[in-house]
Amino acid sequence: MTDNPAAATNDVAVSLRARINTGQPHTARIWNYWLGGKDNYEVDRAAGDQIRQLHPGIGEYARHDRLFLGRAVRHLVGDLGIRQFLDIGTGLPTADNTHEVAQSVAPETRVVYVDNDPLVLTHARALLTSTPEGRTDYLDEDLRNIDAIFEHAAKTLDLSRPVALMLLGVVIFLGDDEDPYRLVRQLVDRLPAGSYLVLSHTVTSPSMPDVDEAVKFWNEHGTPKLTQRTPEDVTRFFDGLELLEPGVVSCSRWRPEDSGDTEPEEVAMFGGVARKD
């Protein structure tokens, strides 16, 4: 252990870089590629293109998931007064990250990002900076390690006051054998009354069979593995909470802005926002 903060920060960066596997496609980097980012490798772009051949609309999931994040965060901060966010499964930084959206409305907002992907943490530490009034922190931790997450989050967030828990596109990495509903419930149980859960998940549907083909391809070639769920299965993650309108729907249809009289096209990424009483 060192008493030199700069040396300690450098040691963390070196350790994270050593864990990055550039020889196998990874979901965070493919997601970044679909969003037009630059933090990906040839192996990720090749896999992303193959998945897009199986399901040409899959890049729209990434875009609509990001737009859903923005609308949900603006509503939570601007209309509901939330000033604290715990964002688990952050993904690679792109545009309109949670803290950027929240702090653009209320600069004093505090955000803790959690991810166990070394590439994500390397970029987050460099790019996700806070406003002077607020605070942004990062934790290299797995979703399953709930005690460690909350022990660290308590250094930045006041866990006696409402927190918005963000689980966007991350629960799909929990297998059914891990009892994902219990894990999400345990996370929510650690939050005070008045907190919110924001969750999104790709879905399996008879009307979109090519989604399952794309997931099958990924599970054969990529890491970590994915577990598809139906819209009804995704809704179960909100059991015991008060769902905000319009419930769990296609992310493109969750309170769309400037859609006019035309309902946005459905995508197989569903999401919802719910309050803990």
Over residues 39-57, the pLDDT tens digits come to: 788 888 888 888 778 767 6
| The pLDDT value given to residue 21 | 61
pLDDT over 50 at 117, yes or no: yes
Distances (CA, A) of 19 to 80, 90, 114, 118, 268: 39, 17, 17, 6, 32
Confidence band, pLDDT 50/70/90 cuts, at residue 163: very high
Q: In sequence order, what are the residues at sequence separation of 6 or more whose Cβ sits closer than 8 angstroms to the Cβ of residue 168?
A: 65, 68, 69, 87, 89, 91, 198, 199, 200, 271
| The pLDDT value given to residue 259 | 60
**Domain membership flag for residue 270:** yes
| The pLDDT value given to residue 215 | 83
User: For the residues 76-93, what does the mean pLDDT come to?
Assistant: 91
- Structural domain boundaries, residue 141: 25-276
Closest CA to 224 of 187, 174, 157, 186: 174
**How crowded is residue 257: how many other Cβ atoms within 10 Å of its Cβ?**
8
**Domain membership flag for residue 125:** yes
Confidence band, pLDDT 50/70/90 cuts, at residue 12: very low
For 117-138, the DSSP string reads -HHHHHHHHHH-PPPSSSEEEE
Closest CA to 163 of 142, 141, 190, 185: 190
- Token pair, residue 215, equals 């997931």
**Domain membership flag for residue 2:** no
| The pLDDT value given to residue 5 | 41
pLDDT over 80 at 34, yes or no: no
**Domain membership flag for residue 129:** yes
**How crowded is residue 178: how many other Cβ atoms within 10 Å of its Cβ?**
13
pLDDT over 80 at 85, yes or no: yes
**Domain membership flag for residue 64:** yes
Q: How many domains does the chain have?
A: 1
The CATH number for 241's domain is 3.40.50.150
Confidence band, pLDDT 50/70/90 cuts, at residue 92: low
